[in-house]
Structure 1
Amino acid sequence: MSEFTPVAGLMGGALIGTSAVVLLAFTGRLAGISNIAHGLVASLRQGKPMDAAWRFVFLLGMVGATWAYFHATAATVNPRQHYPSGLLVLGGLLVGYGTSMGNGCTSGHGVCGLGRLSVRSLAATLTFMATGALTVFVLRHVAHI
């Protein structure tokens, strides 16, 4: 990360929090993205179109809002360079496995779970953060990637 953008960060956090509250208020569901995506696939397999619909709309809104932001601001995505593709694939698979093991992802535990004062979500969020810090340390100072 090379630039400090507090306004964008605050606006993004407010939008994430607002979307979590709106989803909970209207559907009684938590805004855990991994569970929403997994539930979309499961709903389609089980022939539950109404359950699949809200999940699809929520995920589409995330992608659509991102597209709208980049379109409106003319911002560009600058992907990280010089990371081995195999390492990136391994990282993605480990994230998927971890969300399955932890019964949710950072959005489910960190945003929704902590907001509900869940002890399990606190433990999960502390684990996510510690693992992330350790990963950055190892990649930057040990592996020099």
Structure 2
Amino acid sequence: MGAYLAAALGGALIGLSASLLMLLNGRIAGISGIVGGILGRKSERFGQDIAFVGGLLLGPLAYFFLFGREPLVQISAAWPVLIVAGLLVGFGTRMGSGCTSGHGICGMARLSPRSLVAVSIFLGTAVLTVLAAHHGGSL
């Protein structure tokens, strides 16, 4: 399967899962909120949240059974950098009242003004981070 086809199929599956969660459960597929629901107080949604995150974690296993190989993922950063980055992302999702999946996929689809602002900040910060990390801040 070509890289573009795989990316298009992956995007379609993400959109389908977010749409089904909204249509069937009336919930936005924000991963940080769902994981927060698992780690926080137990609620009536606990089982649904576990199933959703379990599906995310089983995705690479499904890929292996479908294509006979592991997904190709390359991570070139050292563990300390990954840990700090993960903590910063977690902090940012709490500060921004949501993550890229909640704002970027579901919020943008609903034309939420708050999500439009959040995604603009996410992308702007990503661009500045890449410039700083790879180009020393210069173009």
* The two structures share one fold, judged by TM-score above 0.5: yes
Give the whole-Å Cα distance in 2 for the aligned partners of 1:89 and 1:124.
23
2:19 to 13, 18, 21: 21
Q: Aligned residues: percent identity?
A: 41
Could you tell me which residue of structure 1 aligns to residue 70 of structure 2? 75
Residues 77-130 of structure 1, C-alpha deviation per residue, up to 9 Å, x if partnerless?
44323x343222211110000000000000000000011110100000011111
Amino acid at match of 2:135: H
Count matched residues.
135
State the Cα deviation string for residues 9-47 of structure 1 (Å, max 9, x = none).
Answer: 110110000000100111100000000000112243xxx
* Cα separation, partners in 2 of 1:16 and 1:40, compared to 1, 3 Å: same
Could you tell me which runs of 5 or more consecutive residues in structure 2 were left unpaired when the two chains were aligned.
none
Give the counterpart of 1:122 among 116, 122, 125. Answer: 116
Identify which of structures 1 and 2 has the higher relative contact order when contacts are C-alpha pairs closer than 8 Å and 6+ apart.
1
Distance, in Å, in 2 between the alignment partners of 1:70 and 1:137 is 35
Residue of structure 2 in register with 1:60 after alignment: 54
Q: Give RMSD over aligned pairs.
A: 1.7
Which position in structure 1 is the counterpart of 2:5? 7
Of the three residues 32, 37, 56, the one matched with 2:30 is 32
Measure the CA separation in 2 of the matches of 1:66 and 1:78.
Answer: 11
1:138 Cα shift? Answer: 1.1
Q: What whole-Å deviation, never above 9, does each CA across 1:44-74 have from its counterpart, x for those lacking one?
A: 3xxx3x3100000011111112221134321
CA distance in 2, matches of 1:76, 1:14: 17
TM-score normalised to the size of structure 1?
0.85
Distance 1:96 1:79 in 2: 22
- 4+ residue runs of structure 1 moved beyond 6 angstroms? none
TM-aligned CA distance change 1:66 to 1:78, over 3 Å: closer
Structure 2: which amino acid aligns with 1:112?
C
Distance 2:112 2:50 in 1: 27
* CA contact 2:103–2:119 (8 Å) conserved in 1: yes
Equivalence for 1:51: 45
Which amino acid in structure 2 is aligned with residue 134 of structure 1?
A: L
The TM-score with structure 2 as length reference comes to: 0.88
